[in-house]
Amino acid sequence: MNQIKTTFLLTCLTLLLVAMGSAIGGQSGMLIAFVLAGGMNFFSYWYSDKIVLKMYKAREVSETESPAFHAMVRRLAIQADMPMPKVYIIPSDSPNAFATGRNPQHAAVAATEGIMRILSEEELEGVMAHELAHVQNRDTLISTIAATFAGAISMLGSMLQWGAILGGGRSDEEEGGGGLLGSLALAIIAPLAAMLIQMAVSRSREYLADAAGAKICGKPLALARALDKLQQAATSRPMAEATPSTSHMFIVNPLAGGALRNLFATHPPMAERIARLQALAGGAR
């Protein structure tokens, strides 16, 4: 169902992009915005592992330095039928983890010092299985596609907004009342809708990674316990270094939530994630 939902949401982004292209008078503006957004996000996709790991001061650890952690990741990679990813430790007390890399052959998993301290071995195994599931499901690619479409729609919105303000649009009489005001409304609403769809794509991939991670490690309840602990700890100790542009990568949101957090959240409600994992455990009996 989450795969179907992702496909539907990406289709919505495509249709929204086409509508925006038509609104500004043809395909040329849409093509320019799409190429610009695609170029920026392609760079991010290709170099995301290096960029994000450097941003969080992650340090690659060898098997000699962290034998137990390496052995755990290697065992999970074998169970997932994936190449062994690079293993990193982030010098942060805030408990969290993420995976990055453009494909399973160029992947890395990173865990904070904080998560290593508060989770049991089984719980940490569940978390790392979740991260490997992101790599297995090529979520970096999915996120990049969604970001490219949303970015192009945002650029088209700006073009449409300035065109309407500077008199580039047709009059209200010519378009039956939908000229200037209609263009301004579309310029504001479409980018907001694109952002909401992009967030929904992120949430659907988290559900999918929870389910796939539980299958990889075979311990859905251990992952559920880990998520509960991480949510409580992340709320009391949000990650100071985290940025909104990378928050979707972590297993739990590293930022403190706001009043509209459910609508604009990159992660699904924690209670729902835990309930689904508990249901998986019940169905496996």
Q: CB-based contacts of 10: which residues, under 8 Å, 6+ apart? A: 142, 145, 146, 149, 201
- Catalytic (active site) residue 63: no
**Residue 134 Cα distances to 42, 151, 189, 253, 279, angstroms:** 18, 22, 31, 15, 21
Identify whether the C-beta of residue 187 lies closer than 8 Å to the C-beta of residue 160.
Answer: yes
Total residue length of the chain: 285
* Cα–Cα distance measured from residue 166 to residue 184, given in angstroms and rounded to the nearest whole number: 11
Distances 275 to 17, 80, 98, 209, 272 between C-alpha atoms, Å:
35, 24, 22, 15, 5
What are 143's two structure tokens? 């996120």
Residue 197 DSSP label: H
| Catalytic option among 63, 122, 125, 131 | 131
CA separation for the pair 253, 194 (Å, rounded):
20
Map 66-108 to HEC letters: CHHHHHHHHHHHHHCCCCCCEEEEECCCCCCEEEECCCHHHCE
Q: Catalytic amino acids?
A: 131
